[in-house]
Amino acid sequence: MSEELNLVKDLAVILIAAGIFTLLSKALKQPLILGYIIAGFVVGPHLGLFHLTSQETVEQWSEIGIIFLLFALGLEFSFKKLLKVGSGAMIMAGIKCIGMFMVGMILAQIMDWSLMEGIFLGGLLSMSSTTIIIKAYGDMGLKNKPYAPLIFGSLVVEDLIAVLLMVLLSTLASTGRFEGMKMAMALGKLVFFLVLWFLVGIFLIPTILDKVRKILNDETLLIVAIGLCFGMVIIAESVGFSSALGAFVMGSILAETLEGERIEHLLGNIKDLFGAIFFVSVGMMVDPVVIGAQWFPILLITVVAMAGILFFSSTGALLAGAGFDTAVHAGFTLAQLGEFAFIIAALGCSMGVMRDFIYPVIIAVSVITTFTTPYMIKAAEPVIKWLHKVLPKSFFEKVNSTSNDDFKSQTSAEKSEWKSYLSLVFSRIGIYTILLLAVSLGRKYLLGGLLESWFGNWSEDTRNLLSVIVTIVIMIPFIYALTMRSASLKKGQSALIQMRHSNMWPILSIDILRMLIAAAFILAVITSQYSLSWIVIILIAAALVLFTLLIQRTLSDHFKMEDLFFENLSANEEREKKRAPITASVRENLDKYNVHIEAVTLSPDSQFVGKELRSLPFRKKVQVNIINISRGSQSIVIPSGDTPVYPYDVLLAVGTEQQLDEFREIMKGEVTDITPGYKGEAGAKEEKFVIRPIVVDDASFMSGKTLRELSLRSQGCMVICFLRNGEMITNPSPDEPLLKDDLVWVAGLESSVGKLG
């Protein structure tokens, strides 16, 4: 049989076995990954049932599988999603990862493993499985539970930590010892390239895709996306990073484009195919002889991993202020090893810092914890009930009193303005410093060689002078953007100075800092070739300032490039606002106050069909308000109490997590997943939907009146919540009076809310 047909035979064996065992997994309601690993074990070399002719080719295909898995993870990830998960998820993931890293190192010492093996063990024990948890929550109908956002947010943070760990562990394994400076340099190099790739990618890729959108069908889009993925893989490896990191970065860049969801959908089948080959190849590494000989380490690591993850995840959630019940759910959910455990273990073995028997040990532990995941998730609720019975009430009062409600402290306008201004100015400093550093590195590694090849007959001094001039010319637009004030910076500075005139001095100090950073880059380029006196340096700096002012009109076009970058970056959010303006507005304004949206589609068999809103139990029983009803192409914004509901109406309910959880219980059996004709909140597109905070003062017409007396619904708007003495009251009672200094959030169409002042 020819070599090509041998490859086909190997793939046939792998995929047929994978198909059979995934069908069994589905029938037994087990994760598909478990079926893949068992299939790999069956067709692998250790049982001897099948003989694969090209193990090296299978390994190459499995590496492609890793690339597609990380590319798909990047498409789901999005760097902006990390900014939205909140501090709670970061605290929880950080405590869990640090705690399990230390546990792994201690456990390795107990088992007499080497220090390097302990470091890798700690790294792989830190990662739970995003794939398994999301799949399990979907199958069990838990995605809308109050504790789900915290868990999903922590998984996003863990994925990023895993990518960083892969880079740091690779550096550590290559040096063979911990060198603080080299590790810091590796981390700095990683951050530099991540930011640079992200900036360039967000500026170029969405712009190009937008230009060719009319001729971009599914086939060409898929080819372009995979080509970009492999291109970034090559770039990442060329600068010393792993192929997996390159795939992840390109996925996260494409996730910010308008085509991100479409690419993710198109990639699904390819990812599943190569992912299956990867997990089958993992199963092929399971050696029953090694497992039999290493049964005690497998059992020990399994028990310690599940107990440790449960403890540190729950502790992290508690310290993040999530409350006792949520913390227990988080701990039981995350108690398994994820896909990165395979990748980190394979990395350690391939670099020769972990002994070969460790890989099948880790796989065995991962298989066991994967198998137990659904049962652990189900066990959380009865354990919580049991703990509520055996532990004193004072314990729960103390634990839950630390709940992290961001709305408990009201931020002053000036403090909020300073936060926005500093965030904007230091992000600009960081972005343009990275770009200027990239230009400097380009001069060092690219420009010199190009000038020598193009102008080899010129003298070295002439080429050096040309190198300095070209570099400074390229830098000038970035220098201008770093030192000059954009419209958003001017707006923030003006607001701060109006609030307090003395704010001009720290603002001036920040402006001087920006100018010093810019001057440092220019001087670094010049002094790298010439030894100059201070007088000459000052004259050069003055000449550059004069030159910049003279071509200011030309350089101002740079801000158009900047606007294009931010337009590309926010394209998904803008599309979401147009598609679902009410949901987007609530998320943007009230998510941080634990006020959320839930959309349900009324079943034709519902007992609520034909009844008016005021007669339904939503408001009286669970304090949930219906903020919008979508009916085919019609949208009823802020429906009145006498509005009837009909089959297939999409009801948008607003409330806290607890209120919405109770709302879901009421709606069990009353809703359907079928949404014929539903195209988003279509009616709200005709006029902008807004949520506006209004402060009640002595002169306000709201002061002292109840919501019933105000009758805001008749004016096309409603009060969603208000802040009083640091306490947020969501969907208040109609008989609740509004008092002086209440901060009231009013929702409705812009014309209606605008009349309230």
pLDDT in tens, 63-85: 788 788 778 877 876 666 655 55
CA 695, 699, 702, 706 dihedral sign is positive
Mean pLDDT to the nearest integer, 294-301: 90
Q: 438 forms bridges with which residues in the sheet?
A: none
Helix (H) or strand (E) segment spanning residue 380: helix 358-390
CA distances from 558 to 246, 374, 420, 443, 481 (A): 29, 53, 23, 21, 7
State the pLDDT at residue 751: 79
Answer yes or no: is pLDDT of 247 > 90.
no
Cβ atoms of 446 and 467 closer than 8 Å:
no
The owner of tokens 């303006």 is: 581
Helix (H) or strand (E) holding 597: strand 596-601
Could you tell me the pLDDT band of residue 533, with boundaries at 50, 70 and 90?
Answer: low
Q: What residues contact 429, with CB distance under 8 A and at least 6 apart?
A: 482, 513, 514, 517
pLDDT tens per residue across span 181-216? 565 666 667 777 777 787 788 878 888 888 888 888
Enter the DSSP assignment of 688. -
Q: What is the pLDDT of residue 84?
A: 58
How far, CA to CA in Å, does 369 sit from each of 60, 96, 374? 27, 17, 10
Whole-number average pLDDT of the chain: 78
Contact predicate 410/724, CB 8 Å: no
Q: Work out the pLDDT band at 163, boundaries 50, 70, 90.
A: confident
User: In which residue are the tokens 């390819």 written?
Assistant: 270
- Residue, of 140 and 13, whose pLDDT is higher: 13
Q: In this predicted structure, which of 434-448, 545-559, 579-593, 742-756 has the lowest mean pLDDT?
A: 545-559
Pairing, β 727-730 against β 689-695: unpaired
Model confidence at 260: pLDDT above 50: yes
- When mean pLDDT is compared over 305-319, 351-365, 504-518, the highest value belongs to 305-319
Q: What is the pLDDT of residue 302?
A: 92
Query: What pTM does this model have?
Result: 0.64
Amino acid letter, residue 368: I
352 Ramachandran zone, left/alpha/beta (phi>0; psi -120 to 50): left
The DSSP result for 454-500, as a single string, is HSTTS-HHHHHHHHHHHHHHHHHHHHHHHHSPPHHHHHHHHHHHHH-
**Is the domain covering 3-379 a CATH 3.40.50.10800 domain?**
no
Q: What is the pLDDT of residue 195?
A: 77
Contact 268, 93 (CB under 8 A): no
Q: In sequence order, what are the residues at sequence separation of 6 or more whose Cβ sits closer than 8 angstroms to the Cβ of residue 668? A: none
CA 43/CA 222 separation, integer angstroms: 32
Contact 347, 168 (CB under 8 A): no
Is the four-CA dihedral 390, 393, 394, 396 of positive or negative sign?
positive
Does the pLDDT of residue 175 top 90, yes or no? no
CA dihedral in degrees (130, 91, 181, 432; nearest 10)?
Answer: 90
Residues linked to residue 573 through DSSP beta bridges, in sequence order: none
What are the strands of the beta sheet with 689-695, ordered from one edge? 689-695, 743-749, 717-724, 727-730
Structure token pair of residue 391: 């532990």
Decide: 330 and 150 in contact? Cβ < 8 Å.
yes
Domain 580-754, CATH class in plain words: alpha beta
Nearest to 204 by CA among 182, 224, 174, 187: 224
Contact indicator for 681, 705 with CB cutoff of 8 Å: no
d(CA 610, CA 613): 9
Per-position b or e across 741-755, b if 16+ CB within 10 A of its CB: ebebbbbbbeebbee
* CA distances, 611 to each of 484, 525, 663 (Å): 61, 75, 17
* Contact call for residues 69 and 339 (beta carbons, < 8 A): yes
The more confidently predicted of residues 491 and 649 is 649
The predicted structure's pLDDT at residue 311: 92
* Average pLDDT, integer, range 509-538: 76
The Cα diameter of the chain in Å comes to 91
Examine the pLDDT at 387 and tell me if it is beyond 60.
yes
* pLDDT at res. 678: 41
DSSP 727-740: EEEES--TTPBP-T
**Of all residues in the chain, what percent carry a pLDDT higher than 70?**
81
Residue 545 has pLDDT above 70, yes or no: no
CB atoms within 10 A of CB 623: 18
Please determine, for residue 232, whether its predicted confidence score (pLDDT) is greater than 50: yes
The first and second tokens of residue 592, run together, are 């941080």
Eight-state DSSP code of residue 736: P
| Rounded distance between C-alpha atoms, residue 642 and residue 363, angstroms | 60
Task: Pick left, alpha or beta for residue 741 (phi over 0 → left; psi -120 to 50 → alpha; otherwise beta).
Answer: left
- Mean pLDDT of the region 563-576: 65
Residue with tokens 């943007």: 588
Predicted confidence (pLDDT) per residue in 705-732, tens digit: 888 888 888 888 888 888 887 677 888 8
Cβ(167)–Cβ(245) below 8 Å: yes
Q: pLDDT (tens digit, 9 = 90+) per residue, 642-691? A: 889 998 888 888 888 778 878 888 887 778 754 443 445 544 445 678 88
* DSSP sequence for 273-308: HHHHHHHHHHHHT--HHHHHHTHHHHHHHHHHHHHH
Cβ atoms < 10 Å from Cβ of 431? 19
Say if residues 737 and 729 touch (Cβ distance below 8 Å). Answer: no
Q: Is the pLDDT of residue 176 over 70?
A: no
Asked if residue 14 has pLDDT above 80, the reply is yes
Please list the residue range(s) of the chain that carry CATH number 1.20.1530.20. Answer: 3-379
**Per-residue pLDDT tens for 298-322?**
999 999 999 999 999 998 888 877 7
Q: In this predicted model, which residue has the larger pLDDT, 45 or 382?
A: 382
pLDDT of residue 617: 86
For residue 227, name the pLDDT band (cuts at 50, 70, 90).
very high
For 438-454, b/e burial (b = at least 16 CB within 10 A) is: bbbeebeeebeeebeee
Range(s) for CATH 3.30.70.1450 in the chain?
580-754
pLDDT of 685 reads: 47
pLDDT band at 550 (very low <50, low <70, confident <90, very high): low
What does the pLDDT average to over 156-180?
71
pLDDT of res. 306: 93
Q: How many other CB atoms are there within 10 angstroms of residue 485's CB atom?
A: 15
Give the pLDDT of residue 265: 85
Q: What is the pLDDT of residue 53?
A: 65
Tokens of 731: 């969907």
pLDDT of residue 407 exceeding 50, the answer is no
CA-closest candidate to residue 438, choices 208, 245, 203: 203
